[in-house]
Amino acid sequence: MRDIINGFKAAEGDKLDFTGFDARPLTDAHDAFVFIGNAAFSANNTGELRFADGVLYGNLDDNIGADFEIQLTGVQSLQAADIIV
């Protein structure tokens, strides 16, 4: 199951804000996510966001699978500037 965002338009100034989320919940610090574009998640690296096929995937732990997914309906590409970490 994934969350769905309809009507996201980066060209009109829309942003995805992840500043309130801890990208690495197993550490004592409040860590920001790192956007890696459409690259695969890194092994043993947490706190990554990747975008592929209209879906933003987030990894919070040290496996290479997504822990959450957000479908951005109608969005074909996403840039680091579209995300506030």
Q: For 24-33, write each residue's pLDDT tens digit.
A: 988 899 999 9
Domain that holds residue 36: 3-84
Overall number of domains in the chain: 1
Task: Band the pLDDT of 16: cuts 50, 70, 90.
Answer: very high
Q: What is the pLDDT of residue 84?
A: 97
What's the pTM value of the predicted model, to 2 decimals? Answer: 0.92
- CB 36: neighbour CB atoms within 10 A? 17
SS3 content of the chain, % helix, strand, coil (to 5): 5, 30, 65
Whole-number percent of the chain with pLDDT over 90: 81
